[in-house]
Structure 1
């Protein structure tokens, strides 16, 4: 069956302000997870937002950069840039010895795969992680792929580590970027039209792996800038298709929001999300699953939309403040 999004109705989203802003994962204990990301990985805590009525807190992190966008008051505009990680803590989980998140990589709850960090010098970067007692799922010397590693955060989420080419070493050798987020998809013939035609992303690269029987699709907003490499940028989405899943009517990936919970969503931001949501609704009608529609949930000024695999995508204004 073809995708309802295969045919572009008028035009796909082309707003130049569109950004793949952040990835949200749930954590058991922020007193453990936040120091892991700041002290061991070197990220900066951009801000924290507490919601006492709903009993949860959000922590927003990013790798340091000299050009963090700031508003007129000098505050970082967290939602106007790519490469942000959101940690969600539901109060009380840290005190429950039986609680654990689903990392998305364990059967029967596979779906979300990982976020990926990229660096100019992967050998030096991994050596730093070793010195800080970071747990490795895969070291560079393990397996066939000698140019990537995987580390684990305190909740068991996988974090890929890759290198990118550079002309020469400089003072910022361990320059890390939050490069991409990986999600497994059942059927690219349905998922790709959704991300391209409904959300306005574009496929930068398709990588076919016949030996492993899978295909990778890397998507982003806009083209790479002159001299920019896929691995040296931020705000990419990697969709992984394991061949054959599209032919199994009973097959479905775990979306991270059904029990057991773990992965939450990716978030796109733009200047006028309300206009975008109205346009999507007008073009695609009941083919779109909202949860909730723009400005109709407990948290105002945003919306959540579901992709063909039932993963959530948040849509927010770039000017949103913590």
Structure 2
């Protein structure tokens, strides 16, 4: 059944389809994660050209905290782990969500011809879209960023949507800024009214997907995520789906815009019917977006479960125990984006 013919209107309809019509899905069996503690959509990895520019941008301008730096001179790269609103120590990095990992490959800062693929340039290949920060007072955030000389892709006054804006980071990655405070349409959105600041949040990471049914079945049935909500935009012919991991205190979770650890899948209608169409996964040249990362209490056990259920239907790159680092694995989603698996106690 082509994805374009499926007119989902509620999350329950999607969940029912993934169960009742599982015979029509490529990823048609749900991995049992009941033995796991709560998994986390832990971090998003972006490659950067020059850490001397990117780290101050994220810390001094956007307010992230540099939690840890892991250096791998034998492989000629460094990893910088940042958190926006949590006070963390290095040992806490993989036991939470909302982490940004910036990867620097040695020498790129001295190469005038080197450019990161930000995922939004047709000439380099589109795929990854943006990361998103949410805030209580979006006008105050825009004013502050303007005063600091930040380059905007879209200001609040531009376009139809007046409560979001976009900025560029030093590598031209898009960063979406969204308001969660005093939203006038909170009743329409079935959200609580947030009348005081809860701080800024690293809310979500957006990637574009070719076939939403295949991608939803992967992230829900294989990786155990939960669909929070979705929105059709018929005027622009696309749909966005927001997923996250169920939390222990799910009954008291705040609205989606005030959370961290969310994945947004964007489907531009019709791509699923084009056999020649594909998105850039960020790891083919020219590179940019690296991966998202899920952390588990026992990542090795989860890898074994997936192997047992799906075998050759999933692609590892590499499998657990087979890469240069033996205590991580990478699995590819239907569009070839990489998802890293790591233990919550760290690597």
Specify the TM-score bucket, using the shorter chain as the normaliser. Answer: over 0.9
Partner of 2:161: 145
Partner of 1:129: 145
Residues 222 and 250 (structure 1), Cα distance of their counterparts in 2 relative to 1, 3 Å cut: same
Partner of 1:219: 243
Partner of 2:322: 296
Equivalent residue for 2:343, pick from 302, 313, 317: 317
1: CA distance, partners of 2:107 / 2:294:
29
Equivalent residue for 2:199, pick from 142, 167, 175: 175
Shift of 1:226: 1.7
What aligned pairs does 1:236-315 form with structure 2 within 5 A after superposition? 236-315=262-341
Whether the 8 Å contact between 2:224 and 2:245 is mirrored in structure 1 is: yes
SS in 2 for 1:50: strand
Q: Deviations over 1:14-66 (max 9, x none)?
A: 43321000000000000100000000001000010111111000000011335
What aligned pairs does 1:12-27 form with structure 2 within 5 A after superposition? 12-14=32-34, 15-27=36-48
Shift of 1:265: 0.2
My pick for the range that moved more, 160-169 or 274-283, is 160-169
Partner of 2:188: none
What aligned pairs does 1:60-75 form with structure 2 within 5 A after superposition? 60-65=81-86, 68=88, 75=90
The answer to whether 1:111 aligns with 2:111 is no
The answer to whether 1:31 aligns with 2:34 is no
My pick for the range that moved more, 160-169 or 271-280, is 160-169
Shift of 1:93: 0.3
Shift of 1:312: 0.2
Q: Deviations over 1:56-77 (max 9, x none)?
A: 00000011335x4x5xxxx541
The CA RMSD measured in Å over matched residues stands at 1.5
SS in 2 for 1:128: helix
2: CA distance, partners of 1:137 / 1:204:
28
SS in 1 for 2:216: helix
SS in 2 for 1:113: strand
Whether the 8 Å contact between 1:150 and 1:159 is mirrored in structure 2 is: yes
SS in 2 for 1:277: helix
Shift of 1:130: 1.0
1: CA distance, partners of 2:135 / 2:81:
21
The answer to whether 1:162 aligns with 2:168 is no
Partner of 1:90: 105
2: CA distance, partners of 1:242 / 1:24:
24
Shift of 1:143: 0.2
Shift of 1:227: 5.2
Shift of 1:118: 0.4
Partner of 2:69: 48
Residues 12 and 227 (structure 1), Cα distance of their counterparts in 2 relative to 1, 3 Å cut: closer
Shift of 1:301: 0.5
Shift of 1:211: 0.5
Partner of 2:16: none
SS in 2 for 1:278: helix
Say which structure is richer in helix. Answer: 2
- Which stretches in structure 1 are left out of the alignment for 5+ residues? none
1: CA distance, partners of 2:93 / 2:135:
22
Whether the 8 Å contact between 2:330 and 2:340 is mirrored in structure 1 is: yes
Whether the 8 Å contact between 1:112 and 1:256 is mirrored in structure 2 is: yes
Partner of 1:4: 26
2: CA distance, partners of 1:95 / 1:214:
39
